[in-house]
Copies of this chain bind each other. A is one copy, B any other.
Amino acid sequence: MARGEGITIRDVARRAGVSVTAVSHSLNGKGTISEATRARVKAAADELGYQADAFARGMRQGSIGAIGLVLRSLDALGDYTPAGVDLFERFAGIVAARALSKGLSITLVPDLLRRPVPPLAFSMDGYIIMSPHEDDPVAALLEIRNIPYVCYGRILARPEFTHWASEDDPLAARQLLAHFEAAGAREVVLVPGTDRNSWNHDFVQEYLSWCGRHEVAPRIYEQPEQSGVDGGRQAGTRILADGLPDAVLCLTGRHAAGVQQEFLAAGVNIPGQSMIAAASDSEHTRSSRPAITAFELNPAGCADALLEMLQKLLETGSASGPSLARAKLRPRGSTRRE
């Protein structure tokens, strides 16, 4: 707000005929002020449309009611225009809406490491990091600055850090593989992303362990998250060249759509000759033909859990974690054999 014209606490004090202390105490429910005076002050504040200046307040109390959001994997995308995992694109909006109902604002901070650092960055009450990297430097930086943070997804290199929430990825992986198995699949191929985050890591681990149990040679085709549908098609080509598997499990919906397009173009019948599924639901999985079986993640549930965790962390200095959210398998045409 343009300075010099704002209504300050002094104006309210004058109007109510009391001291600034009385105004502050009245409005914040502190100190010992009679009910009558409190009411008078509140009336005066309302009439003037008074709102305490956030900077002045923040300066005094050290917190400001705003939390920063770092969308870790999107940082790599530069201008955010190429589409990554759908989940990322929607998470900011979900978090913002949830935060508002708790009286918090959300500030998007694309990358704390790149200079210049946005002025407000180090003045946030706390942070949410989405999909932290293996040993995330952003987390390390926050640690140094003593700023509390929580993560959507584990920090791989730091198992002792428990302030995170996520869907139960290992469980999801097992469920998807079991789903394939029940439909008769024996050889399954995995198409993970290249980001070093817990999501990719956990799926790869579960997949390897599944292959071990079933004595099947693992086949993994990494593909960068942001390569999208085209990347999926490329993976599809490579998979076909190496031999058609019974099923393909892709981590992102876009990759799954790409693989399917490539398979279909090569004349492969889906789900007849090969099945496809994705570990995260998206527009692509829903609108492909046939529609692709996928796990519907729960960003809203995780956002709630994370905000609650962060709030507790801010208030009491500690919080319990991690928190695992329920995700749901959505079986669709790409795996339905009849």
Contacts and interface: CB of A to CB of B under 8 A. Distances in A.
Interface stretch (A100-108, A172-180, A196-204, A234-242): A100-108
A110 B81 contact: no
A3 interface: yes
Given A53-B59, A78-B97, A120 B105 contact: yes
Nearest to A253: B283
A305 interface: no
Interface stretch (A27-35, A37-45, A85-93, A266-274): A85-93
B71 A80 contact: no
A122 B54 contact: yes
B97 A79 contact: yes
A146 B79 contact: no
A55 interface: yes
A243 interface: no
Nearest to A286: B229
Interface string A240-253: 00000000000000
A119 B54 contact: yes
Interface residues of A, number: 62
Contact of A53 (B93, B98, B109, B123): B123
B107 A107 contact: yes
Given A93-B74, A107-B105, A54 B283 contact: no
Interface string A121-149: 11100000000000000000000011100
Contact of A120 (B54, B92, B257): B54
A322 B110 CA distance: 28
A108 B96 contact: yes
A119 B58 CA distance: 9
B121 A110 contact: no
Interface stretch (A16-24, A60-68, A211-219, A323-331): A60-68
A66 to B, nearest CB: 5
16 contacts: A1-B62, A54-B119, A54-B120, A55-B56, A66-B118, A79-B94, A79-B98, A80-B93, A80-B94, A81-B90, A92-B92, A92-B108, A283-B283, A283-B284, A287-B287, A287-B288
Going nearest first, the 8 A-B pairs with the smallest beta carbon separation are A3-B62, A105-B118, A96-B108, A80-B93, A55-B58, A283-B283, A54-B123, A65-B119
Given A100-B118, A283-B284, A289-B289, 4 more contacts: A53-B123, A64-B119, A81-B90, A89-B90
